Amino acid sequence: MNLFRRTLLLFGPYIGKLIFASFCSLFVAVGNSAPAYVMLKIIDNVLLEKDTQVLQYVVIGIILVMFVKGFFYYLQTYTMSWVGQDMVRRLRDSMYHKVMHQSLTYFDTRMTGHTMSRIMNDVSVLQNLIAFSLSFITDILTVGALVAWVVYLDWKLTLLVLLVIPAISLVISIFSRKMRRLGTAMQEKVSDITAVLQESLGAVRVIKCFAREERAIEGFENVNNRSFETNMKSTRVQSLVVPVVENLNTIGLGLVLWYGGLAVIGGRITSGELVSFLSALGMMFTPMKRLTYINNYVQQSLSAAERIFELLDDEVLVSENPDAVDAVFDRGHVKFRDVWFSYLEGPPVLKGINLEVKSGQVVAFVGSSGSGKSTLVNLVPRLYDPTRGKVDIDDLDIRNVRLKSLRRNMGIVSQDTVLFSGTIEDNIAYGVDEIDRDRVMDAARAANAHDFIQTLPDGYLTEVGERGVKLSGGQKQRIAIARAIMTNPRILILDEATSALDSESEKLVQDALERLMKGRTTLVIAHRLSTITNADRIIYLDAGEIREEGTHQELLDRGGLYAALFETQYQKVGLTA
């Protein structure tokens, strides 16, 4: 569909309000045009004929017209502002909804800052189109009323003015094409700035620890300078439009003065008619000047709309089957059936995985970085979908289960613990619909978190700060475990949940995890093999394929890849000791 037409369709739900605003604009335009008529009466009837009664009528008329204009201007402005704000709200809701339902592949291939820029900056630019459409409607009606008036006064004079209109239209058309290209470039540069900001502010600790502040500043200045250069190119183009149009208007005005002056001298028109004509031309100048700017805003808004529609049109790679059902998994029996997976068009990351995890088993996945451990486990909650093959839980293809229902059966505790701004209670109860303080406290006790929470000034109502910055690593991890316990999951996914913790915190977290794992099917992504020696089965992955499988002791006795990896880690621990 044509971009301009699709952008116009965004106004569809607001047709009634737009018609009302246009109706109000009609009165505003009449108020804007009235002074031209007033000038005729003041010159011919008041100043030349000394008619005081006409003077009284003129004064009263001006007051009434301005009062009516002000009333309808308020209604028009409020209505259009409501339309703009509501459109922004609905667009951002739709974009956020689309992003939240994307698979992890979407986030793997896009910078977060770029997505943020589209939701915030591009939508705001589109809002400018709505704000200036208010001026556009009023200006069009005002110019129309003034044109009608000057035609009424003297159509020959009007023809002289119209001679310059084709030249003005040509200038606007040429500059429109340039502004469209520059508008797209400007939005991309704003997106780059947002991306750099989001990345650097999110990693500020790393930047400081490596003393790379100057490098970060240099990187930001580079993208900021590129944005400046693009904006200045746009400014140069915009700045040229007005003087070119002004000069063309001045030519038209000069022709009117010459011909109109001769007409007054020759008695064909009155002095009041000429002054009224010139006043009308002068009053046309400001709205016509704004109309040239509106074209620039239209082009920038279309560029923003194009980026918005790209986001809304992005394919959702993990979608819900229309016939999907809710499910409660009683056993948590997981089967991988000939599973292959590739990231977009890349090489296979998983190759023909066939694996069965029985109910209540603890199965650990080990292997070198990039072997496919995390990818394989991420298929279970459908953070990705297999390229080929399928994943079953309790003999049900998970693609036939509603996503919300599927994920409600699972609890995830990862190495990189994410907490949300809010209270400890809010974070523990994040996975449930209603907060039950007793259940929250029971979950915290099971996660060995209750005691430290009680020592905090506000207990469970303590604010954790952005990403939980007010808590230690071990405390955050125990809150994450309590959060998983709250949902009572049938299947548990652990991604090296005890790494990077001190010995005391690790013991508390490990105790909590063992309590959580009891009776649940558990998939463990392990980097430190000492944490999985008691697993029911250990799967060694290499280059996306299962190379070895067995218990810890069986794999050691076999003397293969797992044994070599364990020996390497054991030697490192021994050297450290």
**Residue that the structure tokens 């997976």 belong to:** 341
The Cβ of residue 279 has, within 10 Å, a number of other Cβ atoms equal to 20
Residue 501: pLDDT band by 50, 70, 90 thresholds?
A: low
Domains 3-194+232-313 and 334-366+379-576 belong to one CATH topology: no
| Backbone conformation region of residue 544, classed left if phi is above 0, alpha if psi is from -120 to 50, else beta | left
- How far is it, in rounded angstroms, from Cα 48 to Cα 274? 14
Residue 411, SS3? Answer: strand
What is the model's pLDDT at position 206?
Answer: 58
- Taking only the tens place, the pLDDT of each residue in 154-198 is 888 888 777 776 777 677 767 767 776 777 787 788 878 887 877
Residues in the chain: 577
The two three-digit tokens of residue 338, written as one number: 């000939």
User: Is residue 384 within 8 Å of residue 104, measured between CB atoms?
Assistant: yes
Instruction: Judge whether 556 and 569 are in contact, CB under 8 Å.
Output: no
Closest among 57, 116, 71, 72 to 92, alpha carbons compared: 116
Give the model's pLDDT for residue 290.
Answer: 72
Indicate the angle between helix axes 123-153 and 155-162, nearest 10 degrees: 140
DSSP state of 118: I
Residues 6+ apart with CB under 8 A from 448: 478, 508, 509, 511, 512
Question: For residue 192, what is the enclosing H or E element?
Answer: helix 165-202
Q: What per-residue confidence (pLDDT) applies to 577?
A: 33
Vertex 142, ends 138 and 145: CA angle to 5°?
140
Whether 134 has a pLDDT exceeding 90, the answer reads no
DSSP assigned state of 529:
G
Quick check: 63 pLDDT over 90? no
pLDDT digits (tens, 9 = 90+) for 302-328: 888 888 998 999 888 888 888 889 888
Greatest mean pLDDT among 59-68, 69-78, 117-126, 173-182: 69-78
- C-beta neighbour count of 421 within 10 angstroms: 13
- Averaging pLDDT over each range in 122-136, 527-541, 544-558, which range is the top one? 544-558
CATH architecture of the domain formed by 3-194+232-313: Up-down Bundle (1.20)
CA distances from 60 to 51, 275, 546 (A): 15, 21, 92
pLDDT value at 288 more than 80: no
- pLDDT per residue as tens digits for the range 371-406: 899 899 999 999 899 999 999 999 999 999 998 889
pLDDT of 576: 39
CA dist., res. 196 & res. 187, Å (int) = 14
State yes or no: pLDDT of 143 exceeds 50: yes
Alpha-helical runs (H) found in 369-446: 373-378, 403-408, 424-428, 437-446
Best CA proximity match to 80, nearest among 127, 38, 18, 29: 18
CA–CA distance, 370 with 380 (Å, rounded to integer): 18
Q: Who has greater pLDDT, 258 or 360?
A: 360
Q: Which pLDDT does position 202 carry in this prediction? A: 65
The counts of H helices and E strands in the chain are 20, 10
Q: Which two tokens stand for residue 176?
A: 């429109």
pLDDT value at position 204? 64
Out of 174-183, 344-353, 444-453, least confident range: 174-183
The CATH-assigned architecture of domain 334-366+379-576 is 3-Layer(aba) Sandwich (3.40)
Q: Enter the tokens of residue 386.
A: 């297999």
Overall average pLDDT of the 252-270 stretch: 81
* pLDDT of 575 over the 50 cut: no
Which residues lie below 8 Å from residue 209, measured CB to CB, with a gap of 6+? none
User: If pLDDT is split at 50, 70 and 90, which confidence band does 153 have?
Assistant: confident
The CA distance from 89 to 82, in Å, is 10
Query: If you average pLDDT over residues 238-266, what whole number do you get?
Result: 78
Alpha helices in 266-333 (DSSP H): 271-313
Measured in degrees and rounded to the nearest 5, phi and psi for residue 194 equal -60, -40
pLDDT of the residue at 504? 63
The percentage of residues in the chain with a pLDDT greater than 70, rounded to a whole number, is 92
184's tokens: 């797209």
For a pLDDT cut of 90, what percent of the chain falls above it?
18
Residue 568, pLDDT above cutoff 60: yes
Helix axes 473-486, 437-446, angle to 10 degrees: 120
Q: Which tokens is 571 given?
A: 């030697």
Residues 529/569, Cβ–Cβ less than 8 Å: yes
Mean predicted confidence (pLDDT) in 469-487: 84
Which token pair is 182?
């520059």
Close Cβ partners of 385 (under 8 Å, ≥ 6 residues apart): 103, 317, 318, 379, 399
Global pTM value: 0.75
Our measurement of the distance from residue 347's CA atom to the centroid of its chain's CA atoms, rounded to an integer in Å, reads 30
Confidence at residue 20, expressed as pLDDT on a 0 to 100 scale: 92
Question: Residue 233's closest CA among 194, 192, 185, 187?
Answer: 185
* pLDDT tens profile 400-443: 999 888 988 888 888 777 888 888 898 898 888 888 889 999 88
DSSP 401: B
At 391 the three-state DSSP class reads strand
Domain boundaries along the sequence of the chain: 3-194+232-313, 334-366+379-576
